[in-house]
Amino acid sequence: MSNPAKTRVTINVNGKDMSAEVEPRTLLIHFLRENLNLTGPHIGCETTHCGACTVDLDGRSVKSCTLFAVQAEGSKVVTIEGMAAADGSLHPLQAAFAEHHGLQCGFCTPGMITRAYRLLQENPTPTDEEIRFGIAGNICRCTGYQNIVKAIRSAAQVMAGQPRKEAAE
């Protein structure tokens, strides 16, 4: 029921310790969006299927709509807002999504890029099939995924130090 006692949680988000009083039932996605105003991660369903809320938590991809904020106490969380370098330069994945038209409406993009980031940490040289499997927890309704796969493949090459291949046309 409403107004249960609030709990203080402290979570390291994008490199900074962030602290707030939350209800025990407050979802991590609402902590990020409502308490911290990090509106990059989105909510697209309530069944852990769409992946729009994906963030990185202690080196794993998690769907922040399916975790309570209190479960993330003391953890390190990275959201899309923490993906670019401190000097503002884009992460190779961010650059590649724009270069290869890997997004349209943009709603899945923060979750998709955050997921792809972890995928490439785990498997720096994925095949197309591995990329498709690796992002199967993230739904995109606009692109048909083909250009997302291309973008992730291209970012993997850039991160491995290979020369960047120009997109077609």
Partner 1 sequence: MNAPTPTRAEREAALKGMGFSRRRTEDARFIQGKGNYVDDIKLPGMLFGDFVRSPYGHARIKKIDVSKATALPGVVAVLTAEELKPVKLHWMPTLAGDVQMVLADGKVLFANQEVAFVVAQDRYIAADAVELVEVEYELLPPLVDPFKSMAPDAPVLREDIKDKKDGAHGPRKHPNHIFEWTIGDKAAADKAFAEAPVTVKELISYQRVHPMPLETCASLASMDKIKGELTVWGTFQAPHVVRTVAAILSGIPEHKIRVISPDIGGGFGNKVGVYPGYVCSIVASIVLGVPVKWVEDRLENLSATAFARDYHMTTELAATKDGKILGLRCHVLADHGAFDACADPTKWPAGFFNIVTGSYDIPAAHVAVDGVYTNKAPGGVAYRCSFRVTEAAYAIERIVDVLAQKLNMDPAELRLKNFIQPQQFPYKSALGWEYDSGEYPTAMKKAMETVGYQALRAEQAQKREAFKRGETRELMGIGVAFFTEIVGAGPSRNCDILGIAMFDSAEIRVHPTGAAIARFGTKSQGQAHETTYAQIIATETGIPADLIAVEEGDTSTAPYGLGTYGSRSTPVAGAACARAARKIHAKAKKIAAHLLEVSENDLEFDVDRFQVKGLPEKMKTMKEVCWAAYNNVPAGMEPGLEAVDYYDPPNMTYPFGAYICVVDIDVDTGSAKVRRFYALDDCGTRINPMVIEGQVHGGLTEAFAIAMGQEISYDATGNVQGVTLMDYFVPTAVETPVWETDHTVTPSPHHPIGAKGVGESPNVGGVPAFSNAVIDAFKHLGVTHMQMPHDAWRVWKTAEKLGLVK
Q: Quote helix, strand, coil % in the chain, to nearest 5.
A: 35, 15, 50
* Closest distance to partner 1 from the beta carbon of 89 (Å): 11
Strand 76-78 with 60-63, pairing: unpaired
Strand 7-13 with 60-63, pairing: unpaired
Phi-psi region of 32 (alpha: psi -120 to 50; beta: other; left: phi over 0): alpha
* Closest distance to partner 1 from the beta carbon of 82 (Å): 9
3-state secondary structure of 55: strand
Q: CB-wise, 2 or 5, nearer to partner 1?
A: 2
Read off the tokens for 169.
Answer: 């046309």
Q: CB-wise, 72 or 115, nearer to partner 1?
A: 115
Interaction site with partner 1 (CB under 8 A) = 1-3, 23, 25-26, 30, 33, 37-47, 49-50, 52, 79-81, 83-84, 90, 94-95, 97-99, 101, 103-110, 113, 131-133, 135-149, 167-169
* Closest distance to partner 1 from the beta carbon of 40 (Å): 2
* Closest distance to partner 1 from the beta carbon of 151 (Å): 10
